[in-house]
Amino acid sequence: MGQGCHAIQATNSVDFHFGIICNQGNSLKLWGDNSFGVLGLGDENPSFNIAAPNIQNVAAVATGIYHTIILKADGTVWAWGSNEFGQLGANLAIGLDPTFTPVQVGDNSGNPLTNIVQIDAGDDFSIARKNDGTVWCWGKNDEGQLGHNGLIGNPYNVAVQVNVLGNPLVNVQNIVAGGSHTLALLSDNTLRAWGHNTGGELGNGTDASIATPVVVKFISGNTFDNVIFIEASVHSSFAIRSDGTTWAWGLNDFTNLGAGFGSTVLYPKSVNLSNVVDIASGSHSTVFLLADGSLWGSGINTYGTFGACPTPDNSHEVPISLGLNIDEPCNHILDIQCVHPSGKTFMATMQDGTIRTWGIMLTLIF
Per-domain residue ranges of the chain? 65-359
Confidence of residue 12 (pLDDT cuts 50, 70, 90): very low
Q: What is the pLDDT of residues 226-273, one digit of tens each?
A: 999 999 998 999 999 999 999 999 999 878 888 877 789 999 999 999
Over range 285-296, report the average pLDDT: 86
In this predicted structure, the answer to whether residue 223 has a pLDDT above a threshold of 50 is yes
The SS3 of residue 26 is helix
> Cβ(4)–Cβ(24) under 8 Å?
yes
CA distance 308 to 322: 7
Instruction: Name the pTM for this structure.
Output: 0.88
Smallest Cα–Cα separation from 59: which of 78, 46, 43, 44?
Answer: 78
Q: What is the dihedral of CA 315, 207, 210, 87, to 10 degrees?
A: 30
To the question of domain 65-359 being in CATH 1.10.150.130, the answer is no
pLDDT at 360: 64
